[in-house]
Structures are given as structure tokens and as C-alpha cells.
Chain A
Amino acid sequence: ELKVEQNPLFLSMQEGKNYTIYCNYSTTSDRLYWYRQDPGKSLESLFVLLSNGAVKQEGRLMASLDTKARLSTLHITAAVHDLSATYFCAGINAGGTSYGKLTFGQGTILTVHP
């Protein structure tokens, strides 16, 4: 069964600084997803990473995937307050009765302060 672990679980950043959130997964996952969730809101899709070496960037966020290491990273560049949210990574079960099931990491609560 796929297991997904994120770290850190809590991240307090100063505006303008850079930081990385790590997402490790236990077995083969066809794809790796990153979602953002604001307090009391739903999940917003940020990135889907399809293959080894995939890198995607949107604004101050950049996500990458290393399937050999079973590791995805979400890099934050020059953080701003608007990035404060909870970030989830998720892998997808590639076979068996749970085919297509998303398994989420625990989430990283990011707070950006002045």
C-alpha cells in the first residue's frame, strides 16, 4: 500500500526567504500531485508531475519529481504572505483494488510572516 510522508509538518518562514517541502512515498506512484488548501477552504490543484525528472513552476513555487528516490520537492522562492496555507502532496495507487486512489501526505502548514 502506498504511503506518503511530508516534512516538515509545520513551516514558519520569513518573507523573502526560500525553503523546500519534501514528500517521500513508499512504493511506485504513477504520478505525484501537489495541492494547496487555505483554512476552511477546499483543495486547489497546484502541480501534477508525470515522470522522473519532471519540474514544474508557477510563480514562486517549483515542484520536482525523482521517481528513483521516490521523492518530490516543493520549493518556495522569496516567500510572500499570500503563500500561507497548507500544502499537500499526494501519490496515486498504480494497481490492485485501490487503482486510482489518491494517498495524501500529512500536509505542511506554511506560515509566512514579515
Chain B
Amino acid sequence: DTEVTQTPKHLVMGMTNKKSLKCEQHMGHRAMYWYKQKAKKPPELMFVYSYEKLSINESVPSRFSPECPNSSLLNLHLHALQPEDSALYLCASSQDRLGDTQYFGPGTRLTVL
């Protein structure tokens, strides 16, 4: 089973709202990732968690706040977003950071009004 699940599938929020994206995997993977993808562009890495610790933060604005409550779950908390943050947010996981294949979830399509 190589499934990564994400909820919600779609999210519309105002600039003053607080919302969270959720990602879950049950493959025993110890590395989890958040990516942002704009239309017709490649995914851009936002955060990497390795063994539940934040390993990489790609200089993401503080209005995005990641959280890894346990090895199977990854959240992305959103607050005071801007319209330009509208994008597809993809979660991925891999066995660890050492170059194993990353498996992607279906994504959350976020629209910020």
C-alpha cells in the first residue's frame, strides 16, 4: 500500500480565517513533506519532517505553520493567507530522507479570497 491521504480535497478561505490541512500515511515512512504547486509549475518544497522533527523549512512565510504530531500525521496550519497563496498543496512521504521515492497524496486545492 503506497497511499498518502489528504483532507480536505478543496478549501476556500478568507484572508482572516484559520484553517488546517491534514495528511496521513500508514506505510511506516519516517519522512514527510509539504509542497506547494501553482498551475503549470512544478511542485515547490515547503517543509520536510524527518523522524517527526522539522528538517527543512524553505523560508516559508510564518502564516504557514507545519506540525507533525506523530510519525503518521502531518498538518499544515494556515492563518492570514494572501490570495497569491491559492494553489494545490501536496503532501508526500518517503521511507526516510535518504533518497527513497516520495509518494504523493492527492492534494488540497486551496483558494484564498
A-to-B contact residues, CB < 8 Å? 30-31, 33, 35, 40-45, 48, 88, 90, 92, 97-102, 104-107, 109
Q: Is the Cβ of B42 less than 8 Å from the Cβ of A42?
A: no
B99: A residues at CB distance < 8 A: 30-31, 92, 100
* Nearest CB on A from B80, distance (A): 27
Q: Is the Cβ of B56 less than 8 Å from the Cβ of A101?
A: yes
Q: Is the Cβ of B31 less than 8 Å from the Cβ of A42?
A: no
Q: Is the Cβ of A104 less than 8 Å from the Cβ of B43?
A: yes
Q: Is the Cβ of B42 less than 8 Å from the Cβ of A104?
A: yes
Q: Closest 7 A-B residue pairs measured CB to CB?
A: A100-B97, A104-B42, A43-B104, A42-B104, A42-B106, A31-B99, A30-B99
Q: List 23 A-B contacts (CB under 8 A).
A: A31-B99, A33-B101, A33-B102, A40-B109, A41-B107, A42-B104, A42-B106, A44-B104, A45-B101, A45-B103, A88-B42, A88-B43, A97-B56, A100-B31, A100-B98, A100-B99, A101-B45, A101-B48, A101-B56, A101-B58, A104-B43, A106-B42, A109-B40
Asked, given contacts A30-B99, A31-B99, A42-B90, whether A102 binds B104 with beta carbons under 8 Å apart, the answer is no
A-B pair count, CB < 8 Å, reads 55
* B interface secondary structure, majority: loop
Interface 1/0 per residue, B17-54 and A, CB below 8 Å: 00000000000000100000000111101001010000
Identity of the chain B residue whose Cβ is nearest the Cβ of A109 in the assembled complex: B40
* A interface secondary structure, majority: strand
B-to-A contact residues, CB < 8 Å? 31, 40-43, 45, 48, 50, 55-56, 58, 90, 92, 96-99, 101-107, 109
* Nearest CB on B from A34, distance (A): 11
Q: Is the Cβ of B102 less than 8 Å from the Cβ of A102?
A: yes
Q: Is the Cβ of A107 less than 8 Å from the Cβ of B42?
A: yes
A92: B residues at CB distance < 8 A: 99
* Nearest CB on A from B52, distance (A): 15
